[in-house]
């Protein structure tokens, strides 16, 4: 009864992110009421394993007592402190210092935001300021990768390369450009890693040439694994090759690790796997494991010094009321304790089990590709393994697969073009992982029975 009235209130008043507003009015919301470990409960009392950690963010799992205690303590002691006027709070300083220590190379300076979109947006501003300070303000152009996602702020949405974020919104701007994705499954140059790396290098060089040379290009944005674009894993060495090329061209290299940081692929930062040090890293999500909002921009010492010298005694005019929020920072510290106290290690072990478990479904007639790293994985469905024909739109993969999984007690992400996405909490047990795989098998079998898919086989 209560749930029904909430569904009605939601329909009438709450605007949902990245939703079909009309579709949502018809379908109504699903209520989530509780979470513990890797499990959530819905409004009907159904227990589900959360194979997507909320929105790839609850890396530490739900209901961790130490995180709750840290937030409660901080709210009681000092609920808010601004960073303006040279003020601050202890947890923000301690978190920045611990993160800087853990971050690759000289990424020693941390600017806290409220989430991922404003972390990306902050880098756009910092990048522009950096080139201005270096006396090269004509370096105006920003390049990202097709299928990339870099948030939905006004400027960030133009770096995002997914059409739903562009059409009708007046982006990308004329200073925002893209090169093709490295997608190994559907790449016109094939799936040879070296050929894919070479194609991306050539594409970036050609794009830079088109823009009048590197003296006009400010920055290149990548995700270590493209998330919202379909969980596309570049070949090993791709990140390093692109980083190297940007260094040669004097173009800033930004790794958007909003999804991949904090144990999602294994280490605290996915860049560590590639042995690279970007000029900036953007993070959010796992930073506070979804308990409270927070993002962080990691800035290299070199960039920091140029901006600081450029501004001299003048203020660098960038800031938000809730930057370095003490409660978020206290949560960040508690979550970091969990990661470093064994959770990353558990995530690594569970990640191997997840990848092997999902790979064991490769023989299923609908499975075209299984990919991922650590606790980040995808299954791409096709109706023909040879031609890689996509699931027909008539079969409404995004809603029907999501609903089927839900009915099986599994939360996953179902991408509209027939990709199943996984990003479970790092605290999963072996049984949790086995459940994810077993329930996925059931979902695949049910999907095979879908008349709209049968018709396409
Ligand atoms: N960058 C990447 C790589 C992301 O995946 C996301 C969110 N999914 C963002 C930026 C934006 O983060 P937020 O939703 O916290 O604004």
Structure tokens, 326: 């003490």
Residues of the chain with CATH 3.40.640.10: 81-324
pLDDT digits (tens, 9 = 90+) for 368-394: 999 999 999 999 999 999 999 999 999
Q: How far is the CA of 59 from the centre of ligand 1 (A)?
A: 15
Cβ-in-10-Å burial (0-12, 13-18, 19+) of 154 comes to: middle
Residues of the chain with CATH 3.90.1150.10: 31-63+342-454
Residue 260 Cα: closest atom of ligand 1: 3
CATH of 81-324, one of 3.40.50.300, 3.40.640.10, 3.30.470.20, 3.30.70.100: 3.40.640.10
Contact call for residues 245 and 199 (beta carbons, < 8 A): no
Tell me the best of 151, 159, 233 to mutate to test the pocket of ligand 1, counting ligand atoms within 8 Å of each CB and taking the most: 151
Q: How far is the CA of 148 from the centre of ligand 1 (A)?
A: 10
Residue 118 Cα: closest atom of ligand 1: 16
Residue 115 Cα: closest atom of ligand 1: 15
Q: Region 275-302: what's the mean pLDDT?
A: 98
CA distance to 66, 102, 446, per residue, from 336 (Å):
11, 10, 40
Q: Which of 126, 140, 132, 135 is nearest to 303 (CA)?
A: 126
Architecture of the domain made up of 31-63+342-454: Alpha-Beta Complex (3.90)
Q: Region 268-297: what's the mean pLDDT?
A: 98
Residue 148 Cα: closest atom of ligand 1: 3
Q: Model ipTM?
A: 0.99
> Chain-centre distance of CA 446, in angstroms?
29
Helix, strand, coil share of the chain (percent; to 5): 45, 15, 40
| pLDDT of res. 109 | 98
Residue 223 Cα: closest atom of ligand 1: 3
| pLDDT of res. 403 | 97
Distance CA 268, CA 290 (A): 16
pLDDT digits (tens, 9 = 90+) for 14-52: 999 999 999 999 999 999 999 999 999 999 999 999 999
Structure tokens, 136: 């090269």
Where does the pLDDT of residue 4 fall: very low under 50, low under 70, confident under 90, or very high at 90 and above? confident
Residue 17 Cα: closest atom of ligand 1: 14
Residue 282 Cα: closest atom of ligand 1: 1
Tell me the best of 19, 55, 113, 120 to mutate to test the pocket of ligand 1, counting ligand atoms within 8 Å of each CB and taking the most: 120
Q: How far is the CA of 454 from the centre of ligand 1 (A)?
A: 35
Contact call for residues 281 and 103 (beta carbons, < 8 A): yes
| pLDDT of res. 3 | 63
Share of the chain above pLDDT 90, in %: 99
pLDDT digits (tens, 9 = 90+) for 105-156: 999 999 999 999 999 999 999 999 999 999 999 999 999 999 999 999 999 9
Residue 284 Cα: closest atom of ligand 1: 15
DSSP secondary structure, 89-117, as one string: -HHHHHHHHHHHHHSSTT--EEEEESSHH
User: Ligand 1: residues within 6 Å at CB?
Assistant: 115-117, 120, 149-151, 223, 227-228, 256, 258-259, 284
Would you call 434 helix, strand, or coil by DSSP?
helix
2 has a pLDDT exceeding 90: no
Structure tokens, 9: 């209130």
Q: Region 186-197: what's the mean pLDDT?
A: 97
pLDDT digits (tens, 9 = 90+) for 49-73: 999 999 999 999 999 999 999 999 9
Q: Region 162-190: what's the mean pLDDT?
A: 97
Q: How far is the CA of 363 from the centre of ligand 1 (A)?
A: 33
Cβ-in-10-Å burial (0-12, 13-18, 19+) of 204 comes to: buried
Q: How far is the CA of 453 from the centre of ligand 1 (A)?
A: 32
Tell me the best of 113, 116, 121 to mutate to test the pocket of ligand 1, counting ligand atoms within 8 Å of each CB and taking the most: 116
Q: Measuring from atom 13 of ligand 1, which residue has the nearest CA?
A: 116
Structure tokens, 169: 């919104």
Cis upstream peptide for 435 (omega within 30°): no
Tell me the best of 114, 155, 258 to mutate to test the pocket of ligand 1, counting ligand atoms within 8 Å of each CB and taking the most: 258
357 has a pLDDT exceeding 90: yes
Task: Count other Cβ atoms within 10 Å, centred on residue 191.
Answer: 13
Distance CA 128, CA 135 (A): 11
Q: How far is the CA of 227 from the centre of ligand 1 (A)?
A: 9
278 has a pLDDT exceeding 90: yes
Residue 156 Cα: closest atom of ligand 1: 10
1 has a pLDDT exceeding 50: no
Structure tokens, 254: 């930004």
Q: How far is the CA of 262 from the centre of ligand 1 (A)?
A: 14
Distance CA 260, CA 257 (A): 5
Place of tokens 């133009």: 158
Tell me the best of 17, 117, 298, 328 to mutate to test the pocket of ligand 1, counting ligand atoms within 8 Å of each CB and taking the most: 117
What single DSSP character describes residue 285?
A: G
Beta bridge partners of 411: 50
Q: How far is the CA of 55 from the centre of ligand 1 (A)?
A: 10
Q: Which of 305, 207, 201, 231 is nearest to 56 (CA)?
A: 231
Beta bridge partners of 370: 379
The C-alpha angle with vertex 210 and arms to 207 and 214, in degrees rounded to 5, equals 75
Distance CA 409, CA 386 (A): 32
Q: How far is the CA of 135 from the centre of ligand 1 (A)?
A: 31
Q: How far is the CA of 149 from the centre of ligand 1 (A)?
A: 7
Place of tokens 């490769």: 362
Q: How far is the CA of 118 from the centre of ligand 1 (A)?
A: 9
Q: How far is the CA of 106 from the centre of ligand 1 (A)?
A: 24
Share of the chain above pLDDT 70, in %: 99
The C-alpha angle with vertex 351 and arms to 45 and 277, in degrees rounded to 5, equals 120
Contact call for residues 296 and 102 (beta carbons, < 8 A): no
pLDDT digits (tens, 9 = 90+) for 197-226: 999 999 999 999 999 999 999 999 999 999
Residue 153 Cα: closest atom of ligand 1: 16
Q: Region 80-90: what's the mean pLDDT?
A: 96
* Interstrand relation of 47-50 and 109-113 (parallel, antiparallel or unpaired): unpaired
Q: Measuring from atom 6 of ligand 1, which residue has the nearest CA?
A: 151
Direct distance between the N- and C-terminal alpha carbons of the chain, in angstroms, rounded to an integer: 42
């Amino acid at each position: 009864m209560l749930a029904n009235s909430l569904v009605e209130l939601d329909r009438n008043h709450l605007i949902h992110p990245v939703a079909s507003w009309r579709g949502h009015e018809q379908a109504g919301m699903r209520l989530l009421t509780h979470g513990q470990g890797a499990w959530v409960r819905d409004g009907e009392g159904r227990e589900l394993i959360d194979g997507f950690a909320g929105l790839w963010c609850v890396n530490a799992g739900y209901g961790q007592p130490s995180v709750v205690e840290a937030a409660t303590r901080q709210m009681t002691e000092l609920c808010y402190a601004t960073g303006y006027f040279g003020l601050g709070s202890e947890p923000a300083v301690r978190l920045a210092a611990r993160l800087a220590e853990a971050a690759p190379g000289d990424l020693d300076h941390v600017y806290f935001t409220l989430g991922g979109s404003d972390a990306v947006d902050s880098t756009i501003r910092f990048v522009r300021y950096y080139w201005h300070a270096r006396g090269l303000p004509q370096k105006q152009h920003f390049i990202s990768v097709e299928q990339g996602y870099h948030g939905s702020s006004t400027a960030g949405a133009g770096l995002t390369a997914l059409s739903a974020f562009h059409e009708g919104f007046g982006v990308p701007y004329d200073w925002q450009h893209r090169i093709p994705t490295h997608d190994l499954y559907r790449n016109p140059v094939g799936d040879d890693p070296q050929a894919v790396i070479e194609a991306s290098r050539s594409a970036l060089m050609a794009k830079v040439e088109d823009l009048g040379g590197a003296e006009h290009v400010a920055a290149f944005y990548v995700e270590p694994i493209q998330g919202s674009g379909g969980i596309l894993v570049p070949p090993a060495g791709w990140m390093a090759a692109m980083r190297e090329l940007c260094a040669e061209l004097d173009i800033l290299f930004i790794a958007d690790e909003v999804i991949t940081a904090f144990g999602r692929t294994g280490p605290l930062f996915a860049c560590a796997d590639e042995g690279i040090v970007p000029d900036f890293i953007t993070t959010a999500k796992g930073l506070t494991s979804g308990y409270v909002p927070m993002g962080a921009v990691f800035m290299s010492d070199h960039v920091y010094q140029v901006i600081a010298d450029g501004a001299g005694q003048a203020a660098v005019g960038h800031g938000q009321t809730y930057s370095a929020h003490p409660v978020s920072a206290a949560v960040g510290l508690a979550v970091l304790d969990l990661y470093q106290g064994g959770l990353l290690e558990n995530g690594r072990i569970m990640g191997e089990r997840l990848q092997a478990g999902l790979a064991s479904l490769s023989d299923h007639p609908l499975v075209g590709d299984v990919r991922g790293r650590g606790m980040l994985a995808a299954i791409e469905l096709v109706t023909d393994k040879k031609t890689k024909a996509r699931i027909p739109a008539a079969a409404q993969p995004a809603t029907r697969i999501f609903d089927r999984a839900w009915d099986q007690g599994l939360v996953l992400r179902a991408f509209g073009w027939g990709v199943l996405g996984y990003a479970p909490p790092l605290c999963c047990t072996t049984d949790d992982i086995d459940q994810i795989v077993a329930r996925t098998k059931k979902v695949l079998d049910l999907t095979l029975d879908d008349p709209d898919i049968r018709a396409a086989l």
